[in-house]
Amino acid sequence: MKGLLALAVMTLAGVITAVSCRQDITQIEKRNEEGIVYEKRPIWQVENTSDPNQPGGAIGYSWIVEGNLLDNYDSKPASFKPDMALLDGETGQRKWTWNNVIRDPDPVRIGRNFIQPYNQYLFYNYGPRNYCIDLKTGQTIWRKDRDYTAMNGVTYGIGPIYFARATPNALMKPDGMADRIYRGDIRTGEETEIATLPYNREKWKTTPNWRGYVGIVTDVYPVLDGLDTLLIATYNEPSTIRHQYETYIGLYNLTKRQWVYDRKRFNPQWPEAFNSSWLTVVGDKMITILNNAVACSNWRTGELIWMKPLTSFAAIPTPIENKYLAVFSTDSKLYLLDINTGESIWWKDREIMAVTSQMYYDQGILYYLTKSLNAVEIPSGKKLWSILAPTTNKLDGNFWGFIVGKPGQNGHKGRVYVRTGYHTYCFEAIK
């Protein structure tokens, strides 16, 4: 009896200890005199490199797939060829790793235009090479090497369909880079060419400094419009001015196999610019980046609505509640714009951003990375978090990889996931 009683006491003590430890992990945080959280214990942290003295490559974009986190794991950090890894969103446990690439020198890069999940399939693209991975097991379903040259790879998808832009290798020597648009099926890997852009080839022939470059598609964005599937295509052509570009928009009706319009300038008053992708659609508006400006156009007509020049190159436009647009500039400023007018609501200086990372928004809070994990209230701009990584004294030890999150459920707070060159972290969100 005494033995059973002792065992019961020990078991109860273990349960209490486990619960109290979890409370410590999720609740302990430190604030400065302004009330900003500068230190917070993560719910969990896991190593993302096998060598504690050799940081892995911090990726700048990640995905939440069925509640789990897509990450990289560097089993051989010195090789600069990390594996893809799927982590349990609640525990950080590594479910599987994958590195079954066609060409051994290829790294596995998780980027904004490299990944598309669909049901149990995970589509991955690297240049002309495409893969499909089983999300449950991490096993390769199919892999294919395409006979084309792709500078930007796959764009956005819709359901099991993805869209890519590339130039057939047979046309590279006579024509130079002249992207077509392809449609592919994630389940089978089958691809077909569906459209080509109306590039100005005569201009190309008379511009010797641009030989080998006719035009490049930067984005293809699918939109369902009634019974029709429409594709918004943005592309660049070389300008007759040396080392300058011209930028255009096209709208292709995939259902009817015809262009609605195919050669609209982003801004006729600003003919020379470079469209650096980041195309985002909000209702009838499309947001994209032109050099140091954020451009908003009506994708149905291609007409410019507004353009907001920033003080340096613009990056990472993030729509918020169809009202606002958060955007960085590379001179360390964070802006909040009115998405309907482009007017600045506020901007913050000395936000030395992790330029490759996306931002994450949920329930009135915008999360983003500088060297620290930051959170600001929207639309007031009040700073709530500025949390330093525990490894800030090490090479690549700051928060500068991805930031992504998932909303809370059943009365529980959400999760925010971030990364350094050594660890991947899960924090409890503010809401």
Tens digits of residue pLDDT in 11-40: 344 333 333 333 444 458 999 999 999 999
Q: Can you give the pLDDT at residue 6? A: 44
Q: Can you give the pLDDT at residue 382? A: 97
- By the 10 Å C-beta count (0-12 exposed, 13-18 middle, 19+ buried), 205 is classed as exposed
For the segment 76-102, the average pLDDT, to the nearest whole number, is: 91
State the pTM of this model: 0.88
Q: How confident is the model at residue 264 (pLDDT cuts 50, 70, 90)?
A: very high
For the segment 347-357, the average pLDDT, to the nearest whole number, is: 74
Tell me the per-residue pLDDT of 397-416, one tens digit each, with 9 for 90 and over.
888 889 999 999 889 999 99
CATH top-level class of 113-277: mainly beta
The structure tokens 């051989």 sit at 76
DSSP strand E in 197-279: where?
213-225, 228-238, 245-253, 258-265
Q: In whole angstroms, what is the distance from residue 304 CA to residue 287 CA?
A: 10
Domain regions of the chain by residue span: 1-30, 32-99+358-431, 113-277
For the segment 326-342, the average pLDDT, to the nearest whole number, is: 93
Q: Can you give the pLDDT at residue 8? A: 41
pLDDT tops 50 at residue 43? yes
pLDDT tops 90 at residue 214? no
Provide the percentage of residues in the chain whose pLDDT is more than 70. 87
Q: Can you give the pLDDT at residue 209? A: 54
For the segment 414-430, the average pLDDT, to the nearest whole number, is: 95
pLDDT tops 80 at residue 60? no
- By the 10 Å C-beta count (0-12 exposed, 13-18 middle, 19+ buried), 416 is classed as buried
Q: In what order do the strands lie in the sheet with 245-253?
A: 177-178, 213-225, 228-238, 245-253, 258-265
**Pair type for strands 177-178 and 213-225:** parallel
Q: Can you give the pLDDT at residue 239? A: 80
pLDDT tops 50 at residue 73? yes
Handedness of CA 263, 264, 269, 271 (dihedral sign): negative
Q: How confident is the model at residue 248 (pLDDT cuts 50, 70, 90)?
A: very high
Weakest-pLDDT range from 13-27, 325-339, 383-397:
13-27
